[in-house]
Amino acid sequence: MEEKKIIFSGIQPSGYFTLGNYLGAIKNWTRLQHEHNCIFCIVDMHAITVRQEPKNLRQRTYDSFVQLISCGLDPEKALLFIQSHVPAHAELAWLLNCYTYMGELNRMTQFKDKSSRHSENINAGLYTYPSLMAADILLYQTDMVPVGEDQKQHIELTRDIAIRFNNSYSPTFVVPEGYFPKAGARVMSLQEPDKKMSKSDENVNAYITLLEEPSVIMNKVKRAVTDSDNQVRYDIKNKAGISNLIDIYSSITGKSIQDVEKEFSSTGYGQFKNAVGEAVVEILSPIQKRFKELSKEKDYINQLIKEGAQKADSRSYKTLNKVMRKIGLYQVK
Q: Which residues of the chain form contacts with ligand ATP (CB under 6 A)? A: 9, 11-12, 14-15, 18, 20-21, 24-25, 147-148, 150-151, 185-187, 196-200
- Regarding 136 and contact with ligand LTN (CB under 6 A), the answer is yes
> 18 contacts which partner out of ligand ATP, ligand LTN, none, CB within 5 to 8 A by kind?
ligand ATP
In the annotation, is 199 catalytic?
yes
By C-beta, is 93 or 279 nearer to ligand LTN?
Answer: 93
Q: Which stretch in 9-17, 96-104, 256-264, 324-332 sits in contact with ligand LTN by CB under 6 A?
A: 9-17
- Given ligand ATP, ligand LTN, none, residue 154, with its beta carbon under 5 to 8 Å by kind, binds ligand LTN
Question: Which one of the listed residues 4, 182, 196, 311 is annotated catalytic?
Answer: 196
Selection from 296, 328, 183 nearest residue 244 by Cα: 183
Q: How many residues does the chain have?
A: 333
Q: Which is nearer to ligand LTN, 156 or 227 (CB)?
A: 156
Q: How far apart are CA 152 and CA 139, in angstroms?
A: 19
Q: How far apart are CA 126 and CA 52, in angstroms?
A: 13
Nearer to ligand LTN, 100 or 226 (CB): 100
Q: Which stretch binds ligand LTN (CB under 6 A): 71-79, 143-151, 193-201, 308-316?
A: 143-151
Task: Round to whole Å and give the CA distance between 43 and 49.
Answer: 11
CA distance 282 to 35: 26
Give yes or no for residue 176 binding ligand LTN (CB under 6 A).
no
**Partner interacting with residue 145 (select from ligand LTN, ligand ATP, none; CB below 5-8 Å by kind):** ligand LTN
Q: Which residues contact 209 (CB under 8 A, 6 or more apart)?
A: 15, 16, 17, 18, 19, 199
Tell me which of 4, 5, 55, 114 is the catalytic residue.
Answer: 114
Burial of 295 (0-12, 13-18, 19+ CB in 10 A): middle
What's the CA gap between 315 and 332, in Å, rounded? 20
**Is 196 a residue of the active site?**
yes
Q: Which stretch binds ligand LTN (CB under 6 A): 6-14, 183-191, 246-254, 318-326?
A: 6-14
Please give the full DSSP string across 252-299, using - where no structure is assigned.
HH---HHHHHHHTTTS-HHHHHHHHHHHHHHHHHHHHHHHHHHTT-HH
With beta carbons less than 8 A apart as the criterion, state whether 156 and 149 touch: no
Q: Which residues contact 326 (CB under 8 A, 6 or more apart)?
A: 169, 170, 172
137 binds, among ligand ATP, ligand LTN, none (CB under 5 to 8 A by kind): ligand LTN
Rank residues 186 and 273 by Cβ distance to ligand ATP and give the closer one: 186
* Candidate list 10, 13, 181, 277; residue touching ligand LTN; CB under 6 A: 10
Taking each helix axis from N to C terminus, what angle separates 88-97 and 129-139, rounded to the nearest 10 degrees?
120
With CA atoms as reference, report the closest residue to 199 among 182, 215, 212.
212
Specify the DSSP element, H or E, that contains 42. Answer: strand 37-42
* Cβ nearer to ligand ATP, comparing 14 with 100: 14
Residues in 75-114 that interact with ligand LTN by CB under 6 A: none
Q: Is there binding between residue 162 and ligand LTN (CB under 6 A)?
A: no
20 binds, among ligand ATP, ligand LTN, none (CB under 5 to 8 A by kind): ligand ATP
- Report what 27 binds from ligand LTN, ligand ATP, none; CB cut-off 5-8 Å by kind: none
Residues that bind ligand LTN (CB under 6 A): 8-10, 12, 43, 46, 133, 136-137, 145, 147, 151, 154
Give the active site residues.
114, 196, 199
